[in-house]
Structure 1
């Protein structure tokens, strides 16, 4: 569980640096890796032994859970390596062996690395990040919007715990819709003033649907293709808010369905944090 124990941080540092191994990272490689994981004010390598140096950085930021999570996922991300999935899978296997004691695991969900929790049953479980409020504060300026999004997540949890799994999934989709809309309104003056440009006509920002928000976030480079595609799956589930769709399809959602929907949301959050400058960063 985050925060990582100091000894786990030291083991993770050994894996990432890979001294004498085929994936050995030099000091400048470590600087670039931390920057690509979008650490706030990433440290400059000081020339000291690399493993203790990286371990020190991990331990110093142990309570900066989003940064640790993004780094763990980045190390296991195929985009980080020239040969893509081959190297990423090797790192993920070793990283997970070090994370097992923390009951954490990096899984590939919809093509993206996502940090989840290992349950007593050995299965991987996903949920809303425990530090979601802090993460939203670094993305969104308006406090009322943050409170509204947090309330939606709270209500989603109530639905899940009471067995209202369809409503929980609808709530997850609604959270993503609100998050993306808030980002467009705060970060894109063109969309804020003129709406979303279309082939024939523009769409007012307050009329944009979740599909348009997801596609535009990808077009702007805010989220990667895999996150976009998997979020569309969540959007399809969210559409069961319409009774006709539910009667027609007769979905049988359960708790596993809800946790699986949180996985692409976590991937989306990681992408947003990597691509959008943090407030106050």
Structure 2
């Protein structure tokens, strides 16, 4: 198998983990020394920021087939086993949506020969249809391409749930829900703007505001507070630094409630908006929200 090209979001997450993650703040000089061990020309350019420098090295190692070597080099740079373990966990959460994971020989210390990048095997469990089954995305305000994409993203989120990867799972759920709500608000702009407490351009609304607008307009019955904080503010958790500072406080009950609430919201949006008078609907297809 060939490691797929990482999206810019994943590259930004890796940059954060390498420059400011569990190992602490790395200066530009320290990064240059770290990357020098990869071989080849990875010299930092004049006036190049340490963030852009690290992103360039990540992109270049992908092209050269040295990505595994890069991750191993970063891990080996830390002497503390606890720090290496925390960093490896961050790397794995970033790589999991691409189907890869860093594995280690449990019988050896962390060395270059003990860490390898391998395909991720997710132990699928029997799914509860009413919670994890793919919802009906035949909403009146979604295009065919959007419906296909949302179904694919939902399957990805279920896979992350089964793998126990809570952070990317919540990112996936939040992106799905925000996309559908934004499409709804764009399709019924008069009704959306009628909510007096929510000002500003529709395209600037975040998930927590969209949930409040949908509740005000009677599109959904759950309130904003019915959703876990991490879900309704999912954009605040896109960096490993947030995750490491926050700690792992999630439990199975909270995660299950999140799935149930998201599924209920999507079902209500599907049913209630389809009953709105025809003249209330937008006459043009909504522009892509670009969230997913």
For Structure 1 versus Structure 2, the TM-score category normalised by the shorter chain is 0.3 to 0.5
Relative to total residues, which structure has the larger helix share, 1 or 2?
A: 1
Flag the structure with larger Rg.
Answer: 2
Structure-1-length-normalised TM-score:
0.44
